[in-house]
Amino acid sequence: MITPRFDELIHAPTRLSLVAFLAATEWADFAVLRDSVGLSDSALSKQLTTLADAGYVEIRKAFVGKRPRTSARLTVAGRTAFDGHVAALQEIVAGAGRSLAPTGRAAQPS
């Protein structure tokens, strides 16, 4: 059961793109994230740090041979927050649809 909960931290456009990308992966390499979302290295680092500070993202640093390799993935808290955020967005859209639909009273001839 997902509880709708709007999350301001996730909703910021760049972070939304990042979290949505991460939500569809087990984890993602820094380079893949950077190229897919279209960010500079520094901008991506900053956003990932913000998400990591909130406990939404886990950042792993490893070495493949002599080359450093950074990857990131959503934590359980991050995934829960993302699912709740998606549910909240769906509620907002559905609510707008309901308010636009004609009510029974309005549909009746006067």
What is the binding site for another protein (CB under 8 A)? 6, 8, 11, 13, 16-17, 20-21, 23-29, 31-33, 36, 86, 88-93, 95-96
For the bound state, the minimum distance from the C-beta of residue 42 to another protein, rounded and expressed in Å, comes to 21
User: How far is 6 from 88, CA to CA, in rounded Å?
Assistant: 5
CA–CA distances in Å: residue 95 to residues 80, 91, 98, 106: 22, 6, 5, 18
For the bound state, the minimum distance from the C-beta of residue 64 to another protein, rounded and expressed in Å, comes to 10
- Whose Cβ is closer to another protein: residue 97's or residue 109's? 97
User: How far is 75 from 36, CA to CA, in rounded Å?
Assistant: 20
For the bound state, the minimum distance from the C-beta of residue 49 to another protein, rounded and expressed in Å, comes to 20
